[in-house]
């Protein structure tokens, strides 16, 4: 067999024409596969974290309308214009809120931050009728929280100046503070498994 010429068909792995059915597969270095798997696992872990954090954050996401301030579980708003007590009450109602009803000393202190330093009096949701003082939402009134005995003051409407309660004629002109529930960004699942309604 001397003189025969042998031809070798040298090709790169993975190089083959479409007509050829059998060709060697292309192989990647082992670390390429390792990086690919690690990247996929990393994205899966990030996705799970985003979902978990979104669910947890959702339970505490409360939002107030523009120009309202969130404090605790409520939103507060100070009017820019002046008006009498009835005008303040109606303006708050038109915004799905009410003149502020003070529940405790902390809330009373917070009104100072809403109204600013050394503010003039602002209307609150307190009014006397036949010398009986009532909040606009009919919650029980505690005269000790606001200071002086109100029985001597007779008829009038309540204002707050800094931390001090004052009785004014209801037709006097003052700013007012409205109070409402915040919006919840999503429904919160209650303990019994039912979804509670979105607060407005």
What are the residue ranges spanned by the domains of the chain?
Answer: 65-180
Query: Residue 142's pLDDT is what?
Result: 78
SS3 12: coil
Apex 148 CA angle, 144 and 149, nearest 5: 80
**Mean pLDDT throughout 21-46?**
78
At 172, is the pLDDT very low, low, confident or very high (cuts 50, 70, 90)?
very high
At 200, is the pLDDT very low, low, confident or very high (cuts 50, 70, 90)?
very low
The CATH superfamily assigned to 65-180 is Mannose-Binding Protein A, subunit A (3.10.100.10)
At 197, is the pLDDT very low, low, confident or very high (cuts 50, 70, 90)?
very low
Q: How far apart are CA 15 and CA 13, in angstroms?
A: 6
**Mean pLDDT throughout 33-37?**
85
CA dihedral 57, 59, 60, 66 (to 10 degrees): 100
- Asked if residue 175 has pLDDT above 90, the reply is yes
Are 169 and 162 within 8 A, CB to CB?
no
Q: What is the DSSP-derived secondary structure letter of residue 21? A: S
Q: What is the DSSP-derived secondary structure letter of residue 141? A: P
Q: Pick the residue with more confidence: 91 or 189?
A: 91
pLDDT tens digits for range 113-170 = 888 776 789 999 999 887 788 899 988 777 777 665 455 556 899 998 877 888 899 9
- Asked if residue 36 has pLDDT above 70, the reply is yes
Query: Residue 183's pLDDT is what?
Result: 86
Tell me the average pLDDT of the chain. 78
Q: What is the DSSP-derived secondary structure letter of residue 181? A: P
């Amino acid at each position: 067999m001397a003189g025969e010429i042998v031809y070798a068909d040298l090709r790169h792995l993975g190089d083959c024409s479409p007509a050829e059915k059998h060709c060697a597969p292309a192989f990647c270095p082992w670390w390429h596969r390792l990086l690919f798997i690690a990247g996929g696992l990393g994205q899966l872990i990030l996705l799970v974290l985003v979902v978990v954090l979104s669910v947890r954050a959702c339970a505490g996401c409360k939002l107030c309308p523009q120009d309202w301030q969130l404090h605790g579980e409520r939103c507060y708003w100070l009017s820019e214009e002046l008006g009498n007590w009835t005008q303040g009450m109606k303006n708050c109602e038109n915004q799905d809120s009410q003149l502020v009803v003070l529940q405790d000393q902390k809330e009373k202190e917070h009104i100072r931050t809403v109204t600013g330093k050394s503010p003039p009096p602002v209307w609150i949701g307190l009014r006397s009728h036949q010398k009986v003082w009532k909040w606009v939402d009919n919650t029980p009134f505690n005269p000790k929280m606001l200071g002086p005995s109100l029985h001597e003051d007779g008829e009038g409407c309540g204002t707050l100046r800094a931390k001090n309660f004052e009785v004014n004629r209801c037709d006097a002109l003052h700013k007012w503070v409205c109070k409402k529930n915040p919006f919840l960004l999503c429904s919160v699942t209650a303990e019994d498994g039912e979804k509670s309604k979105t607060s407005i």
